[in-house]
Amino acid sequence: TRAVTKRFGGRKSLFKPATSVSAVNGVSLTIKRGETFSIVGESGCGKSTLARLLVRLLTPSDGAVLYDGNDISALSEQEMRRLRKDLQFVFQDPFSSLNPRMTVGALIEEPMKVHTALTRTERRQKVAELLNKVGLRPAFANRYPHEFSGGQRQRIGIARALASGPKVIVGDEPVSALDVSVQAQVINLLEDLKSEFDLTLILIAHDLAVIRHMSDRVAVMYLGEIVELAPNDALFDKPLHPYTQALMRAIPIASPHGRSMKAALLGDVPSPLDPPSGCRFHPRCPHATDLCSREKPTPANVAGDRTVACHHWEKIADDAQPPVQEPP
Ligand code: SF4
Ligand code: MG
């Protein structure tokens, strides 16, 4: 992506002044073919918006999303239909992303009708194959989504995403709605399918534990911006950005949605409607100085193919265990 920004709202009305929210603010990153690239951060940090921008389920307000050198936001609907074959999305909630009136077989077959020249018989055969690949019985093709558990439905969603023969699959928290015991199975499945089908996998997660063992590189997002980007092992061995450090140290607490949130030590995420001045993390950062509230840090290139956007990362990196402080 090239300096991608997505603003919501901003439509002028007669009575109200225009307001807009930058959910994604000037994000530039390059995802390599064949890698597993994860984007992590708390809820409301713009991860889902960025994920949707990457496959043009949304179009950017500014900047460009390049795929094979082409700006996908500039493609016509017809050109985009061709590209849709390559770029598929797996939604967070398998309960709402599958049409309840279609059989599982019809759901998986649908993308093949749009994107392939397969005959009806070939499509049926491929449905059975795909069900098998995602660990479900081919006979399930005649049943309806509501007959399945969350984990099974997510497997159906994955089979459907695979049906067009994609090159890239973006998963927006593909396991966060599932029981912890099922999460690992679905993650393992994605890993297996990735190597079998030569996929590039882009995973969105709020839970670092979920992506810990399968990412090649990880981007940490805070209030619409990438604050740190690093190879997986380097990031987990030595997080450089105070926000990454806090995410890793934070103790999971129960949330009303049943999943754990990692915000316990951090206080709340400020509203993206009115982002803090300078470094957007400064109101919650234990290392913040005057400079931090005045000036926005530019991402610095760090040895080992990493970038970090923090004025004081070098000093902070010297402290093996920086102090944990409650925000005021
Ligand atoms: Fe903290 Fe300042 Fe670094 Fe922002 S720039 S993360 S406030 S130390
Ligand atoms: Mg989300």
**For 116-145, how does the pLDDT look when each residue is reduced to its tens digit (9 = 90+)?**
999 999 999 999 999 999 999 999 999 999
Domain assignment of residue 323, yes or no: no
Radius of gyration of the chain measured on its C-alpha atoms: 21
Crossing angle for the helix pair 104-115 and 77-84, to the nearest 10 degrees: 120
Could you say which DSSP state residue 116 is in? -
pLDDT at 259: 45
Q: What's the pLDDT at 168? A: 93
* Residue 24: pLDDT over 90: no
pLDDT of residue 20: 53
* CA nearest ligand 1 atom 5, residue: 310
Same domain? 158 vs 171: no
Enter the DSSP assignment of 137: -
β-partners of residue 301 are 307
Is residue 91 situated within a structural domain? no
- Confidence (pLDDT) at 323: 47
What are the DSSP calls for 233-266, one per residue? HHHHH---SHHHHHHHHPPPEE-TTSSEES-TTT
Domain boundary among 144, 163, 182: 163
Instruction: Say how many Å lie between the CA of residue 96 and the centre of ligand 2.
Output: 14
Q: Looking at 16-20, 28-32, 243-247, which range is the least confident one?
A: 16-20
One domain, residues 126 and 200: no
Residue 116 shares a structural domain with residue 181: no
Same-domain status, 286 and 181: yes
Closest CA relative to residue 83, chosen from 114, 127, 120: 114
Question: Residue 96's pLDDT band (boundaries 50, 70, 90)?
Answer: confident
CA distance 170 to 168: 7
Ligand 1 pocket test: pick from 277, 279, 302 the residue with the most ligand atoms within 8 Å of its Cβ.
279
Structural domain ending residue among the three candidates 117, 144, 163:
163
User: 157 CB under 6 A from ligand 1?
Assistant: no
Q: What is the pLDDT of residues 137-174, one digit of tens each?
A: 999 999 999 999 999 999 999 999 999 999 999 999 99
Rounded to whole angstroms, the Cα distance separating 222 from 230 reads 15
Residue 38 lies in a domain: yes
- The token duo for 102 is 């279609």
DSSP, res 5: E
- Between CA 42 and CA 29 the distance in angstroms is 19
Contact 242, 249 (CB under 8 A): no
User: Residue 66 has which token pair?
Assistant: 């390049």
Same domain assignment for residues 127 and 254: no
For residues 212-219, give the mean pLDDT: 91
Q: Is 286 helix (H, G, I), strand (E, B) or coil?
A: coil
Q: Domain span at residue 78?
A: 2-86+166-318
CA of 62 to the centre of ligand 1 (A): 26
Pocket-testing residue among 285, 307, 308, 318, ligand 1, by greatest number of atoms within 8 A of Cβ: 285
Residue 92 covered by a domain? no
Contact between 89 and 164 under an 8 Å Cβ cutoff? The reply is: no
Do 192 and 134 share a structural domain? no
pLDDT (tens digit per residue) in 69-94 = 888 888 888 888 888 999 999 988 77
Among the ranges given (10-19, 59-68, 150-159, 275-284), the one the predictor scored with the smallest mean pLDDT: 10-19
pLDDT of residue 273: 75
User: What is the DSSP code (8-state) at residue 284?
Assistant: G
Task: Provide mean pLDDT across the span 185-199.
Answer: 93
Average pLDDT over residues 19-34: 78
CB 60 near ligand 1, within 6 Å: no
What is the helix (H) or strand (E) element at residue 183, kind and residue range?
helix 180-197
Domain count, the chain: 2
Number of H helices, E strands in the chain: 11, 15
pLDDT value of position 86? 92
* Percent share of the chain, pLDDT over 70: 85
Question: Looking up tokens 């809820």, which residue turns up?
Answer: 43
Q: How far is the CA of 179 from the centre of ligand 1 (A)?
A: 35
Rounded Cα–Cα distance for residues 128 and 192 (Å): 18
Q: Which of 163, 186, 207 is the last residue in one of the domains?
A: 163
Residue 328 lies in a domain: no
The closest of 297, 299, 300 to 279, measured between CA atoms, is 297
From the CB of 288, is ligand 1 less than 6 Å away? Answer: yes
Q: Do 286 and 228 reside in the same domain of the chain?
A: yes
For residue 31, give the DSSP letter.
P
Q: Report the C-alpha gap between 21 and 273 in whole angstroms.
A: 5
Residues 44 and 172 in one domain: yes
Mutate to test the pocket of ligand 1, among 282, 290, 293, 307 (most ligand atoms within 8 A of CB): 282
Same domain for 228 and 265, yes or no, is yes
Q: Do the domain assignments include residue 154?
A: yes
Q: What is the pLDDT of residue 269?
A: 77
**Same domain for 216 and 307:** yes
Mean pLDDT of the chain, nearest integer: 85
**298 in the same domain as 192:** yes
Look at residue 324 and tell me if it is in a domain: no
Phi first, then psi: what are they for 302, rounded to 5°?
A: -120, 150
| 304 C-alpha to ligand 1 centroid (Å) | 21
Q: With respect to residue 326, please indicate whether it lies within any of the assigned structural domains.
A: no
**Which of 98-107, 205-214, 250-259, 293-302 is predicted least confidently?**
250-259
Is residue 285 lining ligand 1, measured as CB closer than 6 Å? yes
Note the pLDDT of residue 146: 92
3-state secondary structure of 226: strand
CA of 34 to the centre of ligand 1 (A): 33
Which tokens sit at 152? 């099974």
Higher pLDDT, 136 or 209: 136
Q: Give the CA distances from residue 229 to residues 6, 159, 262, 296, 328, in Å, rounded to whole numbers and listed in that order.
A: 20, 30, 19, 17, 28
Position 27 scores a pLDDT of: 86
> Quick one: angle between helices 150-162 and 120-133, nearest 10?
130
217 compared with 57, residue with greater pLDDT: 217
pLDDT of residue 251: 52
From CA 216, how far away is CA 239, in angstroms rounded? 15
Segment 286-303 shows an average pLDDT of: 94
pLDDT of residue 252: 58
The model's pLDDT over 233-288, given as tens digits with 9 standing for 90+, comes to: 999 999 999 999 988 887 555 455 544 444 445 677 787 778 899 999 999 999 99
| Domain identity same for 243 and 195 | yes
pTM for the structure as a whole: 0.87
How far does residue 21's CA lie from ligand 1's centre (Å)? 22
CATH code assigned at 231: 3.40.50.300
